[in-house]
Structure 1
């Protein structure tokens, strides 16, 4: 039995013993103390989510007890070393609690009422009306590539197949890559940021000045690996990002705007209704 299991059983025994003692004597036995503050078994209710059992549940309880002990020690030290304006603190606590309650209601409202359907036409209109917002901060590329051992078989044939548009030859190349390539992407039509691609292929061997040489095969050898790379398309920094690259970003922006509008509308409606019914009065 490993140390974690032993500690788990010990902690379980302590907690169960405390609960049993509380039931038998009517006086609960604490499971932890920090200065003059005590943590009792009933304080641990709700710490472990429903369905969590065994060692996982014990780890959660142990973590809670450790956190409680640290928090109480810090609180004790703070109370002894700083003058607390209790009225101001109480107001801040009340404001924070009220803010949390309102936030929970707003989140529930959003989950129930928010229209999450966003059409392609909406995304396109948003993009066209704010195109200057979507400016590239780095180049993007459409590429095909194959990574092989530098001594892989039939390399000249592979290069010929790589530029072929014949379906059958592309199928032959696909099977070859599945057998010999460390990694490959033959039919990817997506845009990729350069800083993402350099994690896969050595673009430094091409150089940004050559990113506009579309259709050319670049051959780069690095660490006994041969990289065959074809640039299909490119866009440079400070130019407009293509719509396909920022579609998800635009979708999130539209959703966020809808959330804000929905919450604002809810707040105005509630306050206006309260005023109409004289439930809000400001006295001079």
Structure 2
């Protein structure tokens, strides 16, 4: 922390001395390159002050000195074709300008409304894209200490579809369960579910045994698990699981089409106005 405040004092002193002497005083040097107070303009975003602003300035200065040191070393140890380098820089700059224009166009023109009918049509027409690479499951579970009371009663309530008994189980879990999910209707990939419960201890051959209570003991804790539905690898993924992915695919296709149309329109217009010529 002391170093941070020393840095802040140094930067402020440099700024003050610059104003007093009418010439800039550097805040850092790396070999023959100097960093001046004016170079720090914009480093700290509006609204950031105190220790946060000091840390940002410090990080920038350290990054600058590191980059300049590496650049100094590279320039003395690599034979640089300056003409080729300049061409690469120009191409990179031009690519950035075009990219910024394309992003501005997408921001203004892209239709981001994707209906459920469009998503369903995409899903139905591209079945091969949505084959599962691993099993998916719908599951409810209760995680308890091994010595939790009334385990047999809990298992009976867990199987029940009666609203009042489900309410009793919810109250029990609120008091005794370490973690539980009784009404989760979402699909989960097996490896995703394994981060919540020891599903890997259930053989995949048993995934189709829906409605059964699986009892697993791990780390002196009891897991009660009911599988409500399952789908196996190489079968078609449910639409609900890939809904968001399909929406993104549709939007990405629209984005590509929009950019292609823009490019074609610009080129066609340039050709019509004789702004493009290819000389033989």
- Could you tell me the TM-score, scaled by structure 1's length? 0.95
Q: Which residue of 1 aligns with 2:183?
A: 187
Q: Of the candidates 9, 32, 49, which is equivalent to residue 13 of structure 1?
A: 9
Among candidates 220, 223, 228, match of residue 219 of structure 2:
223
Write out aligned runs for 1:18-33 (5 A).
18-33=14-29
Q: CA deviation at 1:111?
A: 1.4
1:1-284 map, 5 Å: 4=1, 6-284=2-280
Question: For 1:143-184, what per-residue CA distance to the aligned partner results, in whole angstroms no more than 9, with x for missing partners?
Answer: 111111111111111111111111111111111111111111
Say which SS state the counterpart of residue 208 (structure 2) adopts. coil
Q: CA separation in 1, counterparts of 2:263 and 2:269?
A: 10
**C-alpha deviations, 1:216-257, integer Å up to 9, x for none?**
111122222111111111111111111111111111111111
3-state DSSP class of the match of 1:195? helix
Residue ranges of structure 2 left out of the alignment (5+ in a row): none
Please give the alpha-carbon distance, in whole angstroms, between the structure 2 residues aligned to 1:84 and 1:94: 16
C-alpha displacement of 1:207: 1.1
CA RMSD of aligned residues (A): 1.3
TM-score normalised according to structure 2 size: 0.96
SS at match of 2:274: coil
| Residue 281 of structure 1, CA deviation | 3.0
Question: What count of residue pairs does the alignment treat as equivalent?
Answer: 280
